[in-house]
Structure 1
Amino acid sequence: MISQKTIDTVFETARVEEVIGDFVNLKRAGSNFKGLSPFSDERSPSFMVSPAKGIWKDFSTGKGGNSVKFLMEHSQFTYPEAIRYLARKYNIEIEETEQTDAEKAMTDVRESMYLVSEFAAKYFNDVLLNSEEGKAIGYSYFKERGFTNETIKKFNLGYSPETWDALTKEALGKGYKLEFLEGTGLTIPREDRPFDRFKGRVMFPIQSMSGRVLGFGGRILTNDKKAAKYLNSPESEIYHKSKVLYGIYHAKQSIAKQNNCYLVEGYTDVIQFNQAGIENVVASSGTALTPDQIRLINRLTRNITVLFDGDAAGLRASIRGIDLILEEGMNVRVCSFPDGEDPDSFARKNSHEALVSYLEENSKDFIQFKASILMDEAKNDPIKKADLIRDMVASISKIPDRIQREVYIQECARIMDISEQVLVSTLAQLIQKDLADANKKQKQEQKPFEVHRNQPPNAGSFSGGDPEDPRTGPPEGYDYPGDSGYYSQEQNQKVDILYGFERKVIEVLLLYGSVVEDFEDVFLKADEEGNVKEVSEKRQYKVFEKIYLSLQEDEIQLSNVLFQNIYNNLIDFYNQNEVFSLDKYLMRLEPEFAQEVTNILMEDERLTIHNWEGQNIFPKQKSETIEQNVSETIFALRWYLVSAIIAELKNSLLTNPQEDNSETLSMVMDYSKLLNNFSKKLGRVVVPYHYQ
């Protein structure tokens, strides 16, 4: 078990923007960063990172948290895995405490499969470098390909011995279980004797974006026609071919930095480019390109350059993947190598400068590329030329952006010497057909459901109270103090104002709890003649003290159980700690509490997503008026509760009209005066909330 000291050091050292920046292409947005959500397919950024708060929020899915939570959500790490990953990233030595038998037994299947895979990678690399067979066969092969020792080390290349069960026997001897060797596909089960899947092959470990070993690719070196030249690990709990790109772990930072990704076909293409100094390159590992693989790149950049081998047959087969890239709204360029060359061989024969120069000079827009490749086939055949044009327009129809589509139509008309109007008409037909097919598919898949007319869109909780947004703004003709409006999750979907005010209390405590401010205290004081007057006096409090004392004075307990639990937890934390550390606070919270705390803290960051300041619209920062913010929050909650009392009193007047209600009427008047007092304090007119 990892010691608490190590965990504390990790939390103190890890910077959330650095950790997430390894996986998501982040751009600065004021004091924060924004990017495309790594958890959903989106084209407008809704993913926010706040370095000051040390947390992130994905507004498209509702997920959020700190660095550790991101790794757990994004890479499916367990908590210990995430801590170990961050410790490795920041070179923090991990202190271990003794695990109990029960804790050892709780190690999950996925972690066991990761550990087996990582052991196998080290074993294959050790055999390659240190065994006679490995050096004579595997190491010699890699040297013939021109790979240096540094490259072999970087990609952890290896060799699996020709022996039937070399890896299996070694792993079992080290205490790894057969079920996990079989689960990862490293070992093939057989009743009499399990045997190695990859015997007699050079090995290419396949890593996730975070560096975990997911599976392997193995290349046979003999001329055995019965055996596949390349063999990949089978699908498993940790390895899904369609969601993995070879080289993404080494390429991610360079892709984000260069804002471009080179896409190749094979392992050695990736390795040779890296050795030539071009690291922003990944491979689909010989499988057909999939939408999941494209989205993996889309997290880092919107620009892909597809590199093709020189042979014409390979080119025609490969360009089919371009339409998938276009459908994802990405920008595609294409580059082919001379006949008989592939990315591996070309990179091996040329210097870094010559390779960079070739890629820059020969990368074409996909329309130009398609035309140049297929026009030779069409030549003077009108039928084939018409088919080619139709094929090019079909590709353009996949592009979601209308402006881009129009530009490409103009380019296509110029290249193919055809009327732009004809292409536009054909494009409209194709788009209409795609929409019809999509609607038909949706209707087939859609389950019957009932829509309630009075249910607001995206019913749930929203803050911000934008009057122009029907999701978050208050009901028409309704005004109340404070700046938050929320929908409850009750069946009738009434606006739950109390929920908003209580949530606001938690928000203020989280943002400013330890800040010292001058607050106005109001109390009654008798003068020399015995007359009682209301006197105000400025006193210093920490924000959490002011809120606590105010709620205690009114004997208020938050009605929302989750908020009350977070409130109690926060007050305890502030009383025990002189300085508020969000990381330390989140560490001690249960997942349900931590998620809600993150939601609250990142709610304001919605403003930076839309770049209001770039449009000369400057939202007022709450930190500029902390005292006012805190006071208004307290008064708003009091206003609501007083309104509730007034409503209850008026209801009793209606239900008992024959009785003497003079005392009740007097109480209504007194509470109404109190509302007027709140109005003065808030500097605006407030009215009682009308209960139904």
Structure 2
Amino acid sequence: MAISNQTTEKVRERADIEEVVNDYVSLKRKGQNLWACCPFHQEKTPSFSVSPSKQIYKCFGCGKAGDTIQFIMDIEGVGFNEAIKHLAQKYGIEIEESNAPSTPEEIQQYNEKESLLIVLNYAKNHFAENLKSEEGRSIGLSYFKERGFDAEIIEKFELGYAQNSWDGLLTAGKKAGFETETLMKAGLILEKDGEKWYDRFRGRVIFPFHNLSGKAIAFGARILTNDKKQPKYINSPETEVYHKSDVLYGIYQAKQAIRQHDLCFLVEGYTDVISLHMAGIPNVVASSGTSLTENQIKLIKRFTDNVTVLYDGDPAGIKASLRGIDMLLEGGLFVKAVVFPEGEDPDSYSRKVGKERFASYLKEKSQDFIRFKIGLMWEESREDPIARADGIRQVIHSIGKVGDAMVRNLYVKDASRLLEIDENLIHAEINKHFLSQQRRKDWKEKHMDSPSPQEEFLPVEKPKTDYGNILMLQEKETIRILITYGWEKISEELHVCEYLMQETGELQFETPVYKRMFEYYKQALKKGILPGTDYFLQGNDNEIKQVVIDMVSHKYELSELWEKRFQIFTIKEADDLAKTVYSSVLRLKRRVVHKMLQETMEKMKSAEDADIQELQRVYMEVKSYQVTIDKQLGMVISN
């Protein structure tokens, strides 16, 4: 069944763009809008803008734009109905169903991904219920209690237990109506000999992985026996809804705390995350035993720019995982590190010393990545000058990963003092190994379709002016003025929309989307509706929505200080609306006329002699009209 229009409208009214986006990225106010690094593409300088007044978002880097519903569709990768359900749940709105038949698009939205999420969340509840069984209490629950996990933490992370049976989940799932194929696609069961199936997780405690909205997407499972033939941990395979390189364990439970503290602690395993929560430190996530990936770093950066990596007291393990620091630096994060005493990890040490001493230890032992790496280097190369030189290079190479030039320069000064090396030598090493490569990389990305440096000096044919594109831009500008100021008056008796309708009535918009918008506008006026930006944003035409957001979003804003403090006033288009509208109409007519002139000239090139004279007459008539428009336009501009 489809979701009713009433529910959709309630969601549109209640869902606040700032609140919704803030669940995924850390927004900072600048002027009238809120800004962040875009969650849809990698960037170091924020270009993702949220307008609370217009209830829209727009990325000036990748072009993603929309309202609250579109944001959830984009960020969660779900269809329209699922986005409505997500927001309805967030705002406590009861979902009403419509008797109208679902459209093909709505049916398609309820696809394999939705089916997998449903069965995975069924499995999560099944594993949680197993903790109440006799086997679950004696094995699974006993293990959690031994680790100090109380009922609150078990519920918070939705921990569970997979019974030690061949097909317990399979049998229960089929009884609940799930197909064997769906259970297998979700990674919950395995196939044997082409005709038999059995549970993937058996006799293990279960740690669910959640997506940002709190739905279970995968599971990690730990064995509780000393069976050397079995791996200690097994995880769900990759599926349509779970890609391990994109996921961090505990991100759902930690995201608000990470934003609140503006800091993320990064650990290795599930129990490390849970132990820190129990120690009163909820802003923690785990890479879950896998090497840190770019997408995991992007996920952290949605909520903070600051990361503290917690290392077990194992020198070999620390050395093996140092590459993660360089990746974090490349991802634009500020990195610190804490090393626990030898033989300890975050889980064991927090339980050993208690909450207060553990929190104090994190504060006292936290050090920036330079001091951390220098300390490791001195330990390993006390008596070996060659090894020491190699260690120094590694420290310098890490500094070279820092993208912000000012921050990088401060790190160079710090390293120069600590290593007793001239700053110029450090800069030279950085330039040699990193900056030159980075410049080439940046140049290639920026000039992907441009000629190489050598080709730039070759003579090129001057491109012909694309008058069709120029006309499209002017049509866009005319529509922008229409939907922005349509209800404003340019005289005592004349509205902007009335004037534009009169002056453009004989013109035909050539760009399809602007033609549709113009027609929708006229239809709305006939119904007694004055259609502004909200009218188009709440429609079903996604192309029009994108166009409207692009029209009303501005990358740069004039600071109020110009007027308030310095008494510097700028002329705005709304200050003289009559002139703005009149000028826009003249420019549109001029673009249309110019295009007509070009088309007439092209026809003359291939016309028969008998037709040349008529085409010349048409050309001169249109040219005369252009001269008249130019005079009028010149008068408007010079006033």
- TM-score, with normalisation over the residues of structure 1? 0.81
1:499 aligned onto 2:472:
yes
User: Closer, same or farther in 2 for the Cα pair 1:647/1:374, shift >3 Å?
Assistant: closer
Question: 2:74 and 2:462 mapped to 1: Cα distance?
Answer: 31
3-state secondary structure, aligned to 1:569: helix
Determine the structure 1 residue equivalent to 2:165.
Answer: 163
Give the C-alpha shift of residue 611 in structure 1. 11
3-state secondary structure, aligned to 1:607: coil
3-state secondary structure, aligned to 1:42: coil
Q: Which has the higher helix share?
A: 2
1:676 aligned onto 2:631:
yes
Determine the structure 2 residue equivalent to 1:594.
Answer: 545
1:317 pairs with one of 311, 320, 326: 320
User: Closer, same or farther in 2 for the Cα pair 1:667/1:319, shift >3 Å?
Assistant: closer
Q: Is the 8 A contact 2:524 2:530 kept in 1?
A: no
Determine the structure 2 residue equivalent to 1:262.
Answer: 265
Give the C-alpha shift of residue 64 in structure 1. 0.9
Give the C-alpha shift of residue 211 in structure 1. 2.3
Question: 1:297 and 1:610 mapped to 2: Cα distance?
Answer: 31
Q: Is the 8 A contact 1:329 1:399 kept in 2?
A: yes
User: Closer, same or farther in 2 for the Cα pair 1:249/1:574, shift >3 Å?
Assistant: farther
3-state secondary structure, aligned to 1:218: strand
Determine the structure 1 residue equivalent to 2:212.
Answer: 209
Question: 1:195 and 1:327 mapped to 2: Cα distance?
Answer: 43
Matched AA of 1:271: I
Determine the structure 2 residue equivalent to 1:144.
Answer: 146
Determine the structure 1 residue equivalent to 2:133.
Answer: 131
Give the C-alpha shift of residue 242 in structure 1. 0.8
1:302-327 alpha-carbon deviations (Å, 9 max, x no partner): 21111111222222222221111122
Determine the structure 1 residue equivalent to 2:176.
Answer: 174
User: Closer, same or farther in 2 for the Cα pair 1:453/1:363, shift >3 Å?
Assistant: farther
Give the C-alpha shift of residue 142 in structure 1. 1.5
Q: Is the 8 A contact 1:37 1:47 kept in 2?
A: yes
Matched AA of 1:498: L
Give the C-alpha shift of residue 217 in structure 1. 0.8
User: Closer, same or farther in 2 for the Cα pair 1:280/1:642, shift >3 Å?
Assistant: same
Matched AA of 1:150: E
Q: Is the 8 A contact 2:206 2:219 kept in 1?
A: yes
1:513-547 alpha-carbon deviations (Å, 9 max, x no partner): 3x342x23xxxxxxxxxxxxxxxxx3153x43443
Q: Is the 8 A contact 1:454 1:492 kept in 2?
A: no
1:559 pairs with one of 510, 514, 520: 510
1:589-643 alpha-carbon deviations (Å, 9 max, x no partner): 32223222222222xx111499997998976554555454334323332344456
Unaligned runs of 5+ in 2: none
Matched AA of 2:6: K
Matched AA of 1:586: L
Question: 1:440 and 1:672 mapped to 2: Cα distance?
Answer: 44
1:572 aligned onto 2:528:
no
3-state secondary structure, aligned to 1:217: strand
1:72 aligned onto 2:73:
yes
Question: 1:577 and 1:34 mapped to 2: Cα distance?
Answer: 37
Question: 2:442 and 2:8 mapped to 1: Cα distance?
Answer: 51
3-state secondary structure, aligned to 1:53: coil
Question: 1:438 and 1:55 mapped to 2: Cα distance?
Answer: 33
Question: 1:248 and 1:197 mapped to 2: Cα distance?
Answer: 25
Give the C-alpha shift of residue 436 in structure 1. 10
Q: Is the 8 A contact 1:34 1:609 kept in 2?
A: no
3-state secondary structure, aligned to 1:194: strand
Please give the residue correspondences for 1:98-497 in structure 2 after superposition, counting only pairs within 5 Å: 106=108, 107-128=110-131, 130-190=132-192, 191-350=194-353, 352-431=355-434, 434=437, 453=460, 493-494=466-467, 496-497=469-470
Question: 2:526 and 2:115 mapped to 1: Cα distance?
Answer: 42
1:229-267 alpha-carbon deviations (Å, 9 max, x no partner): 111111111111111111112222222232221111111
Q: Is the 8 A contact 1:35 1:46 kept in 2?
A: yes
Q: Is the 8 A contact 1:262 1:282 kept in 2?
A: yes
Question: 2:416 and 2:250 mapped to 1: Cα distance?
Answer: 38
- TM-score, with normalisation over the residues of structure 2? 0.87
Give the C-alpha shift of residue 421 in structure 1. 4.2
1:544 aligned onto 2:497:
yes
3-state secondary structure, aligned to 2:242: coil
More displaced stretch, 105-114 vs 408-417 = 408-417
Question: 2:618 and 2:291 mapped to 1: Cα distance?
Answer: 81
Determine the structure 2 residue equivalent to 1:20.
Answer: 21
User: Closer, same or farther in 2 for the Cα pair 1:508/1:584, shift >3 Å?
Assistant: closer
3-state secondary structure, aligned to 1:92: coil
Q: Is the 8 A contact 1:455 1:493 kept in 2?
A: no
1:87 aligned onto 2:88:
yes
Q: Is the 8 A contact 2:583 2:633 kept in 1?
A: no
Determine the structure 2 residue equivalent to 1:469.
Answer: none
Matched AA of 1:503: K
User: Closer, same or farther in 2 for the Cα pair 1:619/1:245, shift >3 Å?
Assistant: farther
Question: 1:237 and 1:199 mapped to 2: Cα distance?
Answer: 23
Q: Is the 8 A contact 1:28 1:34 kept in 2?
A: yes
User: Closer, same or farther in 2 for the Cα pair 1:420/1:179, shift >3 Å?
Assistant: same
Matched AA of 1:568: E
Question: 1:507 and 1:163 mapped to 2: Cα distance?
Answer: 65
1:365-415 alpha-carbon deviations (Å, 9 max, x no partner): 111111222322222222322222122222223223333333333323332
More displaced stretch, 429-438 vs 248-257 = 429-438
User: Closer, same or farther in 2 for the Cα pair 1:321/1:588, shift >3 Å?
Assistant: same
3-state secondary structure, aligned to 2:638: coil
Q: Is the 8 A contact 1:46 1:609 kept in 2?
A: no
More displaced stretch, 70-79 vs 426-435 = 426-435
Q: Is the 8 A contact 2:536 2:544 kept in 1?
A: no
Matched AA of 1:284: S
Unaligned runs of 5+ in 1: 457-490, 521-537, 686-692
Determine the structure 2 residue equivalent to 1:534.
Answer: none
More displaced stretch, 130-139 vs 344-353 = 344-353
Matched AA of 2:158: N
Question: 1:222 and 1:382 mapped to 2: Cα distance?
Answer: 48
Q: Is the 8 A contact 2:521 2:531 kept in 1?
A: no
Question: 1:675 and 1:12 mapped to 2: Cα distance?
Answer: 47
1:16-44 alpha-carbon deviations (Å, 9 max, x no partner): 12111111221112111111111111111
Determine the structure 2 residue equivalent to 1:509.
Answer: 482
More displaced stretch, 669-678 vs 364-373 = 669-678
More displaced stretch, 496-505 vs 83-92 = 496-505
Percent identity at matched positions? 38
Q: Is the 8 A contact 2:255 2:303 kept in 1?
A: yes
Question: 1:448 and 1:172 mapped to 2: Cα distance?
Answer: 60
Determine the structure 2 residue equivalent to 1:607.
Answer: 556
Q: Is the 8 A contact 1:116 1:176 kept in 2?
A: yes
User: Closer, same or farther in 2 for the Cα pair 1:392/1:627, shift >3 Å?
Assistant: same
Give the C-alpha shift of residue 188 in structure 1. 0.7
Determine the structure 2 residue equivalent to 1:485.
Answer: none
* RMSD between superposed Cα atoms in Å: 3.7
User: Closer, same or farther in 2 for the Cα pair 1:447/1:263, shift >3 Å?
Assistant: same
Question: 1:47 and 1:645 mapped to 2: Cα distance?
Answer: 40
